A and B are shown apart, each in its own frame.
Chain A
């Protein structure tokens, strides 16, 4: 199987968020970036799927700034085979992000059998990229997945909805699967894994290479500010 995982780098959850001077975004100079927590479940599920299907490969894809490739290296150290970075200023909206991921996957020359993502990025909390990507690639998708079993290319997926109820889906590969907490227990990167990761291939493309331009922007943010403080009781 050709397995893809989309991972995003987000500010550590402990980060104190401060709007920048002109309110166009937040102050990012002193942020510690981590792999989006939900994407760890996606990487783990990709590795489990690879283990169950010999001859499979796991490719991790990230759209974002080059300054720090921590999240991609972590995924490679956990056991992914290769990585793709689409360089961008980190100021894309969900639509542009999904289009860039599509472009990067197509450029890899491998036809995806399954694409794992997190259910949501904990910085923007938009919950758009997986479904948009699936739509753009004309693939079925299931989101907020807490159970995933695969036999012979057919996935049985449990999706969590209101009141803790579960919808059980069956879908043949190829498909996009957006992972939630509780799906699995992500492994830690081992020391040999970390050493090996340094030599694994990491392809880099520009946004133009993957067919994304500023004309693709759909959402504009402004006026970043702190929420009104609740007075202490």
Chain B
């Protein structure tokens, strides 16, 4: 049995859902949860159900906004005092930036973005994709503790059963220390929807979209089925969509339950970013498009005709 801390980020009224996925896999260990800021009461109850013994809300000056140094200093102090063997987090934008810095401060090793793991005898062994998912390998961590691990959202799946623990909620005061790189401003993204990396359903458009305004038909479908819109690099490079929407080797790696590829040929670099999607649907005029070799369902036809029909049909049943 290992002593584990799961670091999470607080959302409006809960914590990031990947936190529950991680808790599910940690059953049988001594597990605490910590967030910078106030963990909402509803989340405390939910975290307790899935095995959190202690739930810490870390508070201190200069921690309202994320900063790599402020968060790292605050957590260094807290983790050091807690005597943890492992520290986990979902591989969100924030954790991807924070965890390497933090692991370095402990002179410790870190496994990035694992898609599965075991804790046999309290020792971590993970699986992670390399080469943009073209290859998988086993990863283990050696050297000084705590060991750090980030987990790809949506990869483990939600725990299938509950595993109640005490769920004691407490505040802890921490210090951000010196912050040299600080946020001056946050510019909101175009989309208020779930980020691609967290989305459960994705509708993506490729070069065949022909112009930016045509993405409207994908937005309509996405709004109907609660999806987030993505794009191929050809669509991004042609200026139809911002880079934040790019799926693929040099864009985002995604693992939704459903991926709908519209007018995307299925180049190796695009597949690299979405091949672990649970169900892939492709719409393409070319029956020989490589995307069809990876698709669970293929529709040979013009996306400009098919997508609006799909939207209408889904509206009837949703």
A residues neighboring B (CB under 8 Å): 11, 13-17, 19, 26, 37-38, 93-95, 98, 122-132, 134-136, 140-144, 146, 156-172, 175, 180-182, 217-227, 230, 232-233
Q: Determine whether the beta carbon of A219 is less than 8 Å from that of B140.
A: yes
Known: A140-B181, A230-B275. A26 touches B297 (CB 8 A): no
Q: A131-B101, A182-B243, A224-B137 are in contact. Are A163 and B110 (CB under 8 A)?
A: no
Min Cβ gap A115→B in Å is 13
24 A-B contact pairs sorted by A residue (CB < 8 Å): A26-B131, A93-B109, A94-B112, A122-B131, A122-B249, A124-B130, A125-B130, A125-B253, A126-B113, A128-B100, A128-B110, A135-B105, A165-B188, A167-B183, A167-B185, A168-B184, A171-B182, A218-B109, A218-B143, A223-B136, A223-B137, A226-B134, A226-B135, A227-B135
Asked if B154 is at the interface (CB within 8 A of a chain A CB), the reply is: no
Q: Is B184 within 8 A of A233, CB to CB?
A: no
Which chain B residues lie closer than 8 Å to A17 at the CB level? 131, 134-135
* Residue B280 CB within 8 A of the other chain: yes
Q: Scoring B residues 175 to 206 as 1 if CB is less than 8 Å from chain A, else 0, what string do you get?
A: 00001111111111111111101100000000
- Least distance between A69 CB and chain B CB atoms (Å): 22
Minimum distance in angstroms from B295 CB to a CB of chain A: 5
Q: Is the interface of B mostly helix, strand, loop or mixed?
A: mixed
Establish whether residues A227 and B129, one from each chain, have CB atoms under 8 Å apart when the complex forms: yes
Q: Complex formed: what's the CA distance from A223 to B69 in Å?
A: 35
Interface range for B? 35 or more
Residue contact B136 to A226, C-beta cutoff 8 Å: yes
Closest 10 pairs (CB-CB, A-B): A218-B109, A164-B244, A164-B189, A135-B104, A162-B195, A140-B181, A131-B100, A140-B180, A165-B189, A163-B189
In the bound complex, how far is the Cα of B246 from the Cα of A182, in angstroms? Answer: 11
Please measure, in the bound complex, the distance between the C-alpha atom of A180 and the C-alpha atom of B96, giving whole angstroms. Answer: 14
Q: Are A232 and B136 in contact (CB under 8 A)?
A: no
Beta-carbon nearest neighbor of B115 in chain A: A227
Asked if B135 and A225 make an inter-chain contact with CB atoms under 8 angstroms apart, the answer reads yes
Given A122-B250, A140-B68, A233-B292, A221–B184 Cβ distance below 8 Å? no
B158–chain A nearest beta-carbon distance, Å: 20
Q: Is the CB of B132 within 8 A of A125?
A: yes
> What residues of chain B lie closer than 8 Å to A225, measured between beta carbons?
135-137
